[in-house]
Amino acid sequence: MELEKRCPGVVSCSDIEILATRDAVNASTGQGYAVRTGRRDRRRSIATDVKLPGPDFTVPQAAAFFRTLGLSSDDMVVLLGAHTVGVTHCGMIKKSRLYSYGGKAGATDPSMDPELASTYKTYVCPNTASSDNNIVFLDDRASASKLDNSFYKMLQRRRGALMVDQNLYTDGSTRWMVDRLANTDHFRWLFPQALAKLGEVNVLTGTQGEVRRVCSRFN
């Protein structure tokens, strides 16, 4: 609201989101990066329009999704590293990874570390509907608030929660990139670069859309 008072009709909500993301990444990693501004806001905002790679995607499926955004497989591996500060819920992994892998009743995904699978099934995600909304950390809990490369080290240990994440290490075409990010500090500077590219996908400029006066509603 204060920004709109000082610069009415100039700074879009889309730009605010991009700038806030940049500042959050910089605060967490110390790695600053440049972003371009001048985006405009869409006049349509519907949850079903949001497209994300599925939690059970194979690497080819996920790579195909990122290609529709003009992003490479390397970009994909780096951007999924955002899960280093993410969480999911038991309902996203119970069927595909814990209790019905491959459609077989009682089967657990063999790519998951057995100790982790046992912990999930015993304490976090028991096979009851009441556990569906229980929180599952996508990175080691001790590192869940840090934007670092711990996520990739978890994948090396077969401790990725989502299948789409663990598949990055199971699939030989992306394993080398996971190893690179886990074993070096390259994530620290590659992640901002990939975010900057993502921030320029399907952007509205010029007279397209609008610059919202209040971000929670259309003008």
Question: Which residue positions form the known binding site for heme b?
Answer: 83
Question: Which residue positions form the known binding site?
Answer: 53, 83-84, 140, 148
Question: Which residue positions form the known binding site for substrate?
Answer: 53
Q: Report the C-alpha gap between 112 and 98 in whole angstroms.
A: 9
Residue 64, H or E segment = helix 59-67
Question: Which residue positions form the known binding site for Ca(2+)?
Answer: 84, 140, 148
One DSSP character per residue, 149-180 reads THHHHHHHTT--SSHHHHHHHHSHHHHHHHHH
Q: Report the C-alpha gap between 42 and 203 in whole angstroms.
A: 9
Cβ neighbour number for residue 62 with a 10 Å cutoff: 22
Q: Tell me the Cα Rg of the chain.
A: 19
